[in-house]
Every structure is written in C-alpha cells, then in structure tokens.
Structure 1
Amino acid sequence: MDEALNLLRQDKWRLIDQSALGSHFHALQSFGTDDTLCESVGSGHAPATARAWVHHDTIVLGIQDTRLPFLQDGLDYLEACGYQYIVRNSGGLAVVLDEGVLNLSLVLPEKEKGIDINRGYDAMWFMIKEMFADFGKEIEAKEIPASYCPGSYDLSIDGKKFAGISQRRLKKGVAVQVYLCVTGSGSERAELIREFYARAMKGVETKFSYPDIQPEVMASLSELFGVEMTIQDVMLRFLEFLNANSRELASSYLEGEEIGLFDHYYNRFIERNERFLEQAASRQ
C-alpha cells in the first residue's frame, strides 16, 4: 500500500471540478476529457490532475452489453425510464450515473517505470478509505458478483457495494476512475440494470456471462453510513485529501493545447459510440 500512497502524494495536484455542471453535461464529454488529460499529463505538459464529475440520468454501457441478443428492447426500457445511454470503448458492463453518483478521476503520468495496474487500483481504494475513515467502517475491495458491473475492485461495506473502480491508459497517462453512489437508493439503481438485462436477454443463453443482479447487495454511502450525505460533502472530503497530499492544489479547466486535444478525443468518442450502436442494431 506504500507504493499506492506514493502515487497519491504529488508536488502539485490540479483539480478540474465538473460536479455541478448540470443535466446538459454529457457523459461523452467526460470520456473525451479523461483521454485529453491522459495525453497532457502523460506527456508532462500538465501536472497530475484530479477531476470530479456528475452526469444526470445516464447509463454507461460496456462493449459486451452491445452484444446482448435483444439489446434494443433493453434500450427502449431505459429510455422509457428517462435515461439516456452511451457505450464506452473499454471493459466493464452497464453502470448507472445520476445526480446522486459522484465520479472521481486521478490522472497520473506513467513516467519511466510505468504504473502497475493493481497499484493504480490500490491508490484509489486507499484514497476512498482515507476520505471516509472517520465513520469507522471497513471498506473492502473485492468482487461483489451479484452487483452491476462486478469487478475485483468493487468497494463495499458489510458486503454492500457502493463504488466501482476502473482504469484508462493512453499516451503514457493513467486515469484511475471511481464512481461513488453517494445519495439515493443503491438497490433501486441495481433494479434498473437488472430489468435492463432481463429485457435485453429474455432468458436466452449467451456466450458471455452477464451478472445475475441482486439489488439488495448495492447501497449508497448515505444508506451505509446512516447520514444524509451530499455530493458537496464528498467533494469537501476529496479536496481535503488532495490538499493534504500535495504542496499545491490548483483549480483549473482544460487549457492551451488541451482544448484541441479535447475536440479530437470527444469527436472520436462520438464516432465510436455511433458505430457500436449501429453494429448492435444490425445484429438484432
């Protein structure tokens, strides 16, 4: 864990706070932003960067989700429930983003040695444990198989998952990302994805194993801690952690060459997203 902690200690942390941009801030913009930051941080043109972001009523699908036998029926259900959807070009499966889910990205340079994948995961796990240490609850990192988008670095308390960690690596930059279910009902979010899979599979056997979701294994931090926690509360804890682990914490937005990079990566995500969905529709 000491190696993970070393990743978190930076001379300077740059913060990009996009947690309050509202419903018009699209998830594709976030994926474009993190890829932009991977390149700018990886090339040394920008310092280690932390980003916070919130999206309203969005389902982020994994590539495997586009291979569901009755995908369109599942997508129609999501739309009927008021959700938009996108496809990310990486691993993992469907997750829920809404105004009660805070996403955090830590974008780090690989430098000469590189960052082992588990070290990146451990760094995020350590940070989350430190951010909520005052509640005295053990936060475990282990797969919760009956959750949506299960993975070996699911974060849970008393067997109930509230967060999942992922990584994106590009141009010698590493973005370690976590979604934190802060407010609302974790089981209701899980029920939405459970029903999506039910409608998109209709009991048909598939080569890929999709999760058999049990909504009761998921919860929000508010539910787990028994307090009404807000996105702003967690943002304050995030800022305090970054400040304690750097000589300088500077707030900013994309700047200089990053503006052009963002246009490139954002447009590329739009094109890929459209292609994934078109290919999925052709298989229906």
Structure 2
Amino acid sequence: MILYGQPSSGPAHDVELGPLLLRDGLGDATEILRVYSPAPTAAFSRRDTLRPGYAEAASVVERGGFVPVIRPQGGSLAAYGPGSVVIDHVHRSGASLSDPGPRFRHFADMHVALLTKLGVPARIGPVPDEYCPGEYSLNAGGAKIVGSAQRVTRHGWLFSTVVQVTGAAGLRAVLTPAYQALGYDFDPLTVGALEDTAPGLTVAAVTAAVLSAYGLT
C-alpha cells in the first residue's frame, strides 16, 4: 500500500483526487491510501444538484464559510473541515464491477474497532433523520460520527470515509439551513463528533489510529 502524502490545494482538488487516483493510479500500486483533514467543505451529491433548493443550499453553506463542491459518490450533502479526518482508500483491481455491500460492512467494522480503542462507544447504523443517511453510518451518543461512500468502476473502487472528530456545532450551523433548502428530513441533533463522547480526542490522534489500523506506522 502507498500512502499519498502530498498536501491539499483545496476542497475542489480533494474531491477530484480520489477518482483521479482510481482512474490513473500511482505507479504500479494496487492500494493507495490518503488520510487528511480538509478545509471547510460542503460536499453535495449529484442527486442534491437536482433538487429545487440546491442553489439556495449552496449559497447558504458558502455564506457559512464552507466551499460547496460536487462529489462523485452518492448520498446527500455532508459537511466537514479541519475537525474531520477524511480517509480515501483506492483499490485498483482492473476487475469487473464488484458488490459494494460487503465492503461497507468491512470498513464499518474496521472503524468501530479503531474508535473503540480510542474510547468512543461507536456503533454501526444510522440514527433517525441524520444527514447523508446510510445503513453503515457510525453513531455514538445518539448522533452520527462517521459516514462513508464508495465509487465502483472498471478500474476498481474508491472507499471514502469522513470521521468527525471535533466541531459538531459548526457543521450543524451550515447543515441545518442547507437541508431545509434541499427539502430533506433532518434533525440537527444527529450531527455529532468523537469529542462529544471522548473529550480531548484530537484529529492527530485519530489520524495516527487510522494509519496504525492500516499498518502504516
């Protein structure tokens, strides 16, 4: 596995890089991992852009200091920033399309294990009216703390995960009006962060735990 360590040049670059690595690769690497903390980003899905309130939602997040971008993966709007850890795992198999279901479960189990070691009571499953809802979201204390999405192509797959470590209140402040504009059901109290149940936990500690889980430390 190769760890991609080049610095980010902004949210637009961040959402484009994973699919680019999936398509073009990095040397002859089969597995590529990128772990980073981004600038404030509001990642809309293509489905979001078809909603009547999309323009207003994009304007709302931008006024809140978040850069609106369109990500290639599915789902719905997710916001993240310097208090988040983003994990992009690229597997270049060159094989035909594969079933994404078992992969969601595998990574959910992996993330629960590493967060449990950090003192976070993480569980697999969505909470009602969460943002970007997913069967394999992770929750703790009644709020969503981790979300994942994936892209499968003829080149392999890209599995992207966002771990919210700190700053849930700031995410709530932009997600609430944006989801209202998009017309999705949403409960602001479902926006959580690891620090809510494990006070003092830092982005650096979570990043180190992720790299350790991949055997890269």
Equivalence for 2:20: 36
- Displacement of 1:50 in angstroms is 1.2
| Equivalent residue letter for 1:221 | L
1:14 pairs with 2:7? no
1:242 pairs with 2:214? yes
**Partners of 2:56 and 2:16 in 1: how far apart?**
28
- Give 1:32-181 correspondences, 5 Å limit: 32-40=16-24, 45-110=28-93, 115-135=98-118, 137-181=120-164
| Equivalent residue letter for 2:59 | D
Q: Could you list the structure 1 runs, at least 4 aligned residues long, displaced by more than 6 angstroms after superposition.
A: none
- Displacement of 1:240 in angstroms is 1.4
Map Cα deviations across residues 89-131 of structure 1 (whole Å, 9 max, x no partner).
3311111121111100121234658643122112211221222
Map Cα deviations across residues 75-95 of structure 1 (whole Å, 9 max, x no partner).
222222222201123311111
1:215 pairs with 2:180? no
Compute the TM-score of the two structures, normalised by the length of structure 2. 0.87
Q: CA RMSD in A?
A: 2.5
1:190 pairs with 2:178? no
| Equivalent residue letter for 2:75 | G
| Equivalent residue letter for 2:19 | D
| Other structure's SS at 2:128 match | coil
- Tell whether the 8 Å contact from 1:148 to 1:190 is kept in structure 2 after alignment: no
Q: Whose Rg is larger?
A: 1
Q: Number of residue pairs matched?
A: 217
Compute the TM-score of the two structures, normalised by the length of structure 1. 0.68
Distance 1:170 1:194, change over 3 A: same
- Displacement of 1:40 in angstroms is 4.5
Name stretches of at least 5 consecutive residues in structure 1 with no aligned partner: 1-12, 202-209, 244-248, 251-284
- Tell whether the 8 Å contact from 2:165 to 2:201 is kept in structure 1 after alignment: yes
Map Cα deviations across residues 220-255 of structure 1 (whole Å, 9 max, x no partner).
011121x22222111111121122xxxxx49xxxxx
Equivalence for 1:256: none
**Partners of 1:28 and 1:58 in 2: how far apart?**
9
- Tell whether the 8 Å contact from 1:62 to 1:90 is kept in structure 2 after alignment: yes
Equivalence for 1:232: 204
| Equivalent residue letter for 1:35 | P
By percentage of residues, which structure has more helix?
Answer: 1
- Tell whether the 8 Å contact from 2:90 to 2:157 is kept in structure 1 after alignment: yes
- Tell whether the 8 Å contact from 1:188 to 1:215 is kept in structure 2 after alignment: no
Further displaced range: 145-154 or 130-139? 130-139
| Equivalent residue letter for 1:237 | A
The alignment-based identity, stated in percent, is: 21
| Equivalent residue letter for 2:13 | Q
- Tell whether the 8 Å contact from 2:95 to 2:156 is kept in structure 1 after alignment: no
**Partners of 2:97 and 2:57 in 1: how far apart?**
40
Further displaced range: 230-239 or 130-139? 130-139
**Partners of 2:204 and 2:119 in 1: how far apart?**
21
- Between 1 and 2, higher relative CO (CA 8 Å, sep ≥ 6) is seen in 1
